[in-house]
Amino acid sequence: MKIEVLDSRRLTGPNLFWDQPGAILDITIDHIPAERVISAWSVEVSRLMEAVGWCADNICSRVYEGGASLVINAPIDVLYAACELNEVALNKAVVWLSGDARPDLRGVTNGLSEKVAAERNPNLLALKQAAARYRVPFLWDDDEVSIGFGKSAIIWPVSQLPAPDSIDWQGVGSIPLGIVTGTNGKSTTVRLASAILAAAGLRSGITSTDYIRVGEQVLDRGDYSGPGGARTLLRHPQAEAVVLEVARGGLLRRGIGVEHADAALITNVAADHLGEYGINTVAEMAEAKFIVRRALGAQAPLILNADDPESVSLVGSVSNRVVWFGLDAGHPVLQAHLEKRGMAAYLSGGWLVLEENGKRQKIVQAKDIPITFDGAARYNISNALGAMALCHVLGVADTALATGLKTFSGDAETNPGRGNLFKKNGIWIFLDFAHNEHGIKAISDTVKAFHASRYIVLMGQAGDRSDKDIGALVTAVCGLNPRHLLVCELPGYERGRRTGKVPELIREFAIDEGVPEEFVTLFPSPVEGVKKALADARQGDCLVLLALTQREEVLALVQTFVADSYGF
């Protein structure tokens, strides 16, 4: 029997399991049925929860290939103690399963009770309850607690919380708040939405995997797609409307960073980062993305992509109000929804259209949206449809929807590394960070419309991807029939593999796909590969640069090449 703890952590917001905060253990299980482990843990954790005064019914579990997650609910002020209680319960269960006598809990119970008492913060719970009564946004973390969003937000240190009856609750309010998640297109959709909100006269705030921004001011750079970025932005006094990019990692590790939102959008669901946090299949990934629905009230819409099979498959299991978007006006999902006078955004006759309650309104032509490249980039038309639907339900007028979409350039300044197109002397250079099969196929469909005489592709991959995933990525790239495949190591991203192993795998897969061996060249980094691509480029070529690391350096090389001030 082998049971190992992979992670013990707090769930601070609505999560994969329920709408409540709690503590979770992710464990591996080998040579023993998972059901036996869960049964023993359930007994021990219930005994401990009862001993410290918590409801023993508030437990749940999830079994997946190779392991399980063990979850308990607890008040937000004692989640560290809840994590320790969960760990103790598992340890006791392991002793029991090993054949020893059922453990005596008296000693550990006293210690846990002391930890719970030391961690308690009644003022925090009282403020949370009062915020719920007044229907006012409430945010908390280890350092600060706040009520209200934007300019009405009031923030206190967690150790200096006021009595609820001392607060002027009438002066505390909210701002429009949307959430965006999905496998691909999140950042672009968030930035499109920001441009639309700006066209509506609002100082919009966004979080993303690149930065956190209010208006044109970047507050900080880095990955802010988790709860911490959400809190920082929603507490900012200049934010008048907010769209949060919410990534899989934050959803699974902590839960949603907010309890309530006005709308949530899922761009698509595809294979990416499988094998982490017990998410091993695309269907399980869809369930993880659908966590965002837990932040929505009865009328706050869940905006879904009708062209995404996983979303279509899962929608029947949720009770949320749904808004659909899609590239095919005749899609049966869209048609059935519209027949019931539901709301949808779709492409029809080259126009992005909004339809609601049987009323149909043309908003903007796809060719007039810069990031669609005259309509060739259908994945960006899809992103634009999603952003349009999201901003419509946030209250933006049709004219601002059109203006925002038409003014968002999507270039290297406004959307760096995401579908940036450069041209020089009959050479196309397409720079993107696509790193999974779904994203590569979308890019391939786009650049094929350029009808280049040769496609030269630069690619690499991190070492934590499976051989199967790397093979699928290569297959997608080979759909372009590349004349030259430049395969680069990603220094610092070997993640358990020896240096050079991933490029070697990519070369092997490419040769198996029919790419001549002499057309595949390995490089020690993306920068070196890009230098070679630019040096060899000739009229009629399309360089597809899938630079996953050294992004700023790669972008600088391309910009310098286009500006004719660099000798290759």
Please say which residue of 407, 428, 461 terminates a domain: 407
Same domain, 78 and 135: no
Burial class (CB in 10 A: 0-12, 13-18, 19+), 166: exposed
In a domain, 246, yes or no: yes
Same domain, 207 and 233: yes
Range of the domain at 95: 2-119
In a domain, 77, yes or no: yes
pLDDT in tens, the chain (568 residues): 689 999 999 999 999 999 999 999 999 998 889 999 999 999 999 999 999 999 888 899 999 988 999 999 999 999 999 999 999 999 999 988 887 766 666 678 888 999 999 999 999 999 999 999 999 999 999 999 999 999 999 999 999 999 999 999 999 999 999 999 999 899 999 999 999 999 999 999 999 988 999 999 999 999 999 999 999 999 999 999 999 999 988 999 999 999 999 999 999 998 776 777 888 898 999 999 999 999 998 889 999 999 999 999 999 999 999 999 999 999 999 999 999 999 999 999 999 999 999 999 999 999 999 999 999 999 999 999 999 999 999 999 999 999 999 999 888 778 887 889 999 989 999 998 887 888 888 888 899 988 999 999 999 998 888 888 899 999 999 999 999 999 999 998 888 899 999 999 999 999 999 999 999 999 999 999 999 999 999 999 999 999 888 888 999 999 999 987 444 4
Q: Are 264 and 303 in contact (CB under 8 A)?
A: yes
> What does residue 189 show for φ and ψ, rounded to 5 degrees?
-65, -40
Strands (E), 237-358: 241-245, 263-266, 302-305, 322-326, 344-348, 351-356
The two structure tokens encoding residue 306: 């009708």
Same domain, 400 and 453: no
Please say which residue of 138, 171, 204 terminates a domain: 171
SS3 assignment, position 559:
helix
The count of domains in the chain is 4
Q: Are 253 and 277 in contact (CB under 8 A)?
A: yes
Same domain, 264 and 347: yes
Please say which residue of 407, 433, 448 terminates a domain: 407
> What does residue 544 show for φ and ψ, rounded to 5 degrees?
-105, 105
- The residue type of 56 is A
According to the 3-state scheme, what is the secondary structure of 360-400? EEEEEEHHHCHHHCCCCCHHHHHHHHHHHHHHHHCCCCHHH
In a domain, 549, yes or no: yes
- Residue 179 pairs with which residues in a beta bridge? 244, 264
Could you give the CA distance from residue 361 to residue 394 in angstroms, rounded to a whole number? 17
In a domain, 292, yes or no: yes
In a domain, 567, yes or no: no
Residues 6+ apart with CB under 8 A from 107: none
Same domain, 206 and 166: no
Phi-psi region of 53 (alpha: psi -120 to 50; beta: other; left: phi over 0): left
DSSP string over 70-106: EEEE--GGGHHHHHHHHHHHHHHHHHHHTTPPPPP-H
Same domain, 237 and 220: yes
CA dihedral 232, 269, 435, 449 (to 10 degrees): -120
Same domain, 237 and 199: yes
Looking up residue 327, the CATH number of its domain turns out to be: 3.40.1190.10
Among candidate residues 466, 445, 465, the one with its CA nearest the CA of residue 544: 445
- Residue 365 pairs with which residues in a beta bridge? 351
In a domain, 61, yes or no: yes
Same domain, 380 and 327: yes
The two structure tokens encoding residue 223: 């990955």
Burial class (CB in 10 A: 0-12, 13-18, 19+), 238: exposed
Same domain, 232 and 373: yes
DSSP string over 185-241: SHHHHHHHHHHHHHHTT--EEEE-SSEEEETTEEEEES---SHHHHHHHHT-TT-SE
Same domain, 256 and 394: yes
- State the pTM of this model: 0.90
Exposure b/e, 147-156, CB count within 10 A at least 16 = b:
bbbbeebeee
Same domain, 268 and 403: yes
Looking up residue 508, the CATH number of its domain turns out to be: 3.90.190.20
Exposure b/e, 466-481, CB count within 10 A at least 16 = b:
eeebbbbbbbbbbebe
In a domain, 379, yes or no: yes
Angle (CA) 541-544-545 rounded to 5° is 130
In a domain, 54, yes or no: yes
Q: Are 228 and 206 in contact (CB under 8 A)?
A: no
Same domain, 395 and 443: no
The two structure tokens encoding residue 534: 């630019």
Let me know how long the chain is. Answer: 568
Q: Are 259 and 147 in contact (CB under 8 A)?
A: no
